[in-house]
Amino acid sequence: MRKLTRIVLAYFVFTGLGSVDAFAQPIETIRVQQDLYLVGDRTYSCFYLTEEGVIVIDPLDSVHAAAAMDAIKKVTDKPVQYVFYSHNHWDHISGGQVFKEQGATVISHVEAAHHITPNPAVVLPDSTWQGEKATFTLGGKTLELYFYGRNHGDGMTVFRFPEYNAIFIVDLVVPDRVLYAYLPDASPKDWVEDLKKIQALAFDAVYMAHVRAVGDRRDVTRMQQYFDDLYAAVEKELNNGTPFFDIPTTVTLPQYKNLRNYEEWLPMNVWRILMEKTIGQ
């Protein structure tokens, strides 16, 4: 019974379908730049003010979307014109209806639109973009969109704000924590390679969607290094002839033991890399 409770708890925390008092914290609004805000608790969306209206990135669920709408109304009377989805995972996009009802146009990369898991709460994109890069302008503001292929999910977009030399990066970098459990539909080898490509972008500030909202280039580097060290540790055990099913409990990365969920999720991270290697992903 206790094991089942843990599984149910983890599911509800990940999906946002329920609230758990032990993890609850107030939804806050963080003004990170003159016209750029983050809204959330442990999960953050973003909104960008322009002369012609507001751009929202990731509505999250309906509760977070409503909180973001309230936050927007406190700083501007301009309407939300556009909502961008970062990728296909519905925990980041199920609140889109809140903004759609206000007249917003929903946009995603074409690959995200093609791979959104059917869910009655999700508003499908009105428009899509394709290719590796696009530039979007509204009210004198420019937003750059970057797509690198499948990594954490499908259609993942990294958003760059040239005005502030900053990026908003969703799920690809989660600071102060190991990788999420077993990386359900991710492609780890592509993920780490894409982090290296993201490093080639011009940016100083990094805004993130989970755990800690504000960081810098060091957070991207640390996530990339964690992947590299994880792969190296798994490869070492394979080369040493460690029995396959012992590897997840043999691998340790003591340099990361201060990260959240190290004890609980590191073995699952190892399993995911082993699966990738054994099925040739």
Query: What proportion of the chain, given as a percentage, has pLDDT over 70?
Result: 91
pLDDT at 182: 86
pLDDT at position 18 over 90 = no
Phi, psi of 70 (to 5 degrees): -60, -40
- ∠ CA 243-226-158, nearest 5°, is 130
Specify the DSSP class assigned to residue 174.
Answer: -
User: Any idea where the domains of the chain sit in the sequence?
Assistant: 22-222
**What CA–CA distance (Å, rounded) separates 81 from 90?**
21
pLDDT at 24: 63
pLDDT at position 22 over 50 = no
Query: What proportion of the chain, given as a percentage, has pLDDT over 90?
Result: 86
- ∠ CA 240-244-249, nearest 5°, is 90
Q: What is the mean pLDDT of residues 73-98?
A: 97
pLDDT at 11: 37
pLDDT at position 85 over 60 = yes
pLDDT at 185: 87
Q: Express each pLDDT in 128-182 by its tens digit.
A: 999 999 999 999 999 999 999 999 989 999 999 999 999 999 999 999 999 999 8
3-state SS, residue 163: helix
**What CA–CA distance (Å, rounded) separates 137 from 50?**
9
Q: Express each pLDDT in 36-66 by its tens digit.
A: 999 999 999 999 999 999 999 999 999 999 9
Mean pLDDT across the chain: 91
pLDDT at position 222 over 60 = yes
pLDDT at position 238 over 90 = yes
- Using alpha carbons, select from 32, 61, 27, 29 the residue that is nearest to residue 42: 27
Residue keyed to tokens 């709408």: 69
Yes or no: say if 39 and 28 are a contact pair by the CB < 8 Å rule.
yes
* CATH architecture designation of domain 22-222: 4-Layer Sandwich (3.60)
CA 3 to chain CA centroid, nearest Å: 28
Q: What is the mean pLDDT of residues 252-275?
A: 97
Q: What letter represents residue 280's amino acid? A: G
Residue 146 has which token pair? 């970057």
pLDDT at position 12 over 50 = no
Residues 6+ apart with CB under 8 A from 251: 230, 233, 234, 237, 266, 267, 270
Residue 181 has which token pair? 């459990």
What is the value of pTM for the model shown?
A: 0.90
